[in-house]
Structures are given as structure tokens and as C-alpha cells.
Structure 1
Amino acid sequence: MNDPSAIREHLMSSFYFRHATKAFDPERRIQPEDFEVILEAGRLSPSSVGYEPWKFVVIQNEALREKLREASWGAQKQLPTASHYVAILARRDVRYDSDYVDYICRTVKAMPESILAKVPETYKAFQEDDFHLLDSERALFDWSCKQCYIALANMMSSAALLGIDSCPIEGFNYDRVHAILEQEGLFEDGKLDIAVMVAFGYRAADPKRPKTRRPASEVVQWVE
């Protein structure tokens, strides 16, 4: 698809198609190659200073889904019917001087030693002075969660482009879901925690009304 107008039309139609699907058709399953694209859209998403502070846990186990359903008032219909259900975990160990950040810089980004020597002070200034992320553990974790939402949006948008439905899930009791996932050993000894969840599949029925949004005139402002 090299025609810009066709790309624009496909993109916009996908955004109008996407809606927060409350119930999926349990008989329809997402093809593995399509779901791999959705996961890759998350993995390849941008993150602040490239920390990639996320992990995508695909929960297909029915018993675990039922435990989560009992703690998730906003996923009562989605959890039993979704083709795929993902818990997006955010990293807690994203302090500038952590082993994880060193791994990202040294191994993933393959920074040369001359750059590595300067990185800690640069990232410390960003986290401590610019965004006040070191004021509390919660501030640093919330920053990680913000990055996870970038991946979440890209995953849902990619799904819509493929004609696949989705629903982001924030309607859950944090303490109960935290305890469930911690008991499953998914937090890597406290280095991860739940940020948000998302269901994927194919809608059981079309929405009862068209998409509603505020007009662009209220949302967009140009400063020239």
C-alpha cells in the first residue's frame, strides 16, 4: 500500500472501527501471526530515554483468568471471552543507577565506554531535577507506567489495523490483582508490577452507537 490517500483512509477507518469491546466472540481466535504483530508493536514502541520499562504477560490460563475476573470489575465479560489477555507490567528498577538501566545502556544499546561514563549523571539530572522522579518510589513507578501506556496504545491501534478488537482494562482492584500476579511469580522479585491490562479478540456484537468524541476545535490548538 504505497498510495498516501489509501493509507490515510485505512488508518482513519481503523480508528473509527476501534472501540472498547465489552464482550468478545469466544469461538473466534486471533491467528498466531497476527498476535505476534500486536506484541511486536508493543515491543518496538518508544519509551522515555529508551528504557523499555515493560513486560507483556499473555494470560491464557483459564484458572488464572478467573482469579483476575474476581478482582476486576471492569473485565467481567472480557476475561472469559477474549482470545488473548495481556497484563502489561511496569518495571520498578528504572533508577538511573540500577542494574537494569546499566543492562539497557551497556547490552541493549551497546553504548561505548566513553558514553557509559557520562550516562549516569545525565540520567540522574533528568530523573532528579527535571521530572522529580526520585522524590518517591511511587513517582518512579508511575513514570514507568506512563511508558507502558505508549505500548498499550500501539498494540490496540495495530490490532485495529488488522481488524482485531481490544479493550484496555483499568477497572480492577490493584491490591488484589497485585497479590494474584505476585503469587504466580510474575514480578521478578519485586522488579515488576501491574500497570494495566488489555483484552484482544473479535467483538460479539457491533457497538450500539457510533463513536463519540469532542470536536477537534476543542481538542486541537495551533500556536504559530
Structure 2
Amino acid sequence: MARKTSENPGRLAQIAQTYKMTRQADPKVGLIVAAVGIVTFGVILALGFLIGHPIWAGILGFLLAFLAMAVIFGRRAEKAAFGQLEGKPGAAAAVLQNVGRGWTVTPAVAMNKSQDVVHRAVGKAGVVLIGEGNPNRVKGLLANEKKKVSRIVYDVPVHDYIVGTAEGELSLKKLRTTLLRLPRTLTGPQTTQVNDRLRALGDPMSKLPIPKGPLPKGMRMPKGR
């Protein structure tokens, strides 16, 4: 019992923190979520009166209203979180570190004086290099890093992307989904071997100031289209 009691305040505090963050970027989030809940409950309850089962409809309406509110709040919180990360140094690294189990992320494996940067993620899909910064500069940085990686793990797929909003670039909110949708070509032990071999490239050039702040837990980011 004591364990459950100690966990609940943490969960409530996390929800409150996420709501506070979301409200800063989306001031109407409270009204919108409340409206969704009220409308959902009202519609289900009205149908219950029509069919002669208002009590059961009220219970069902309450559950569906709560579910609808949670879904809408989650989506708006996710959008607000990405909005705060967009354009900040290390934003891609912050998203990569939330990709999930099975991925080893190394931020800032390459960087230039203008702070354009390349991050590396290794998983069962192979090696993924993510460049962020000025597109014209980061292309060369990304190409050089891909050559280095390919020389060491020549038998492993190496994918590369540039994070941004321009045509041909990968948006921040689609980064996680893109990685998770890549075809799996390696086993767990092979992934470990790839990581070991890549250590030959040395430690990251620098540690970027990865944006801090609450990211909605279980964000599953992003549910890209």
C-alpha cells in the first residue's frame, strides 16, 4: 500500500507538469479538453434516454468522455512538446533518446564550428545518422560521417536524414516513427557487434545542450502520418 501511495503523487505531479507546459503553448487546451468531455458525455446520455437506459448510458458516457479527453489532451500535449523542441540545438537528440528499447543513441558524433551536428542511432534496422542545422552545411557533415561509418560497418545498412521543415527533410515529429518503421535486418547480438565496432570512431565530439523539460510520458512520438 505504501508503494502505491508514493507512486500516485508522482503520476499526478507529472500530469500537472505536462498540463502546465501544454497550456503555455496552447492556452485553450483546458477549454477544448473539457468541451470534448462534456459533448461526448452529453451525446451518450441523450442516446441513453432515447433507448430507455439513461443510467447505463451515463456510466458508458462518463468512461467514453474520459477516454476522449485523454486522447485529445495527449495529442495537444505532444504537439506542444514538439513545438518547444523545434529549432533548438539538440532537439533531434532529445527525440532520439525517446525512441525506445533496442536503440543505442549517441548524440553529436560530428559537429562543425557553426554547431551543425550529426547524431547516431544503432538498432536492428542498422545505423541511422541524423543531421540537424543549416541544410547546406549539414549535408557535407552527414556525408562525411556516413563514409566513416560505412568503412567500419560496410555490411550494415546506413540510413541518413536531415531534420527540418523544408522539402526533402524529415520533420521532428516524424523522426521516431520513421526509425521504428525501418525494416529490421539485424539480430540483437549483431546490433551489439555494430555498436562495438563503431566505438573505433571514438567518443562524440561534443555534448550538446539537449533541451530539457517535460515530454509527455509514453508519448510514442511521433505518430506520424
* TM-score in same-fold range (> 0.5): no
Q: For the pair shown, which has the larger CA radius of gyration, 1 or 2?
A: 2
Return the TM-score normalized by structure 1: 0.24
Return the TM-score normalized by structure 2: 0.24
Instruction: Compare the two structures and name the one with the higher helix fraction.
Output: 2
Q: Does 1 or 2 have the higher relative contact order (CA < 8 Å, sep 6+)?
A: 1
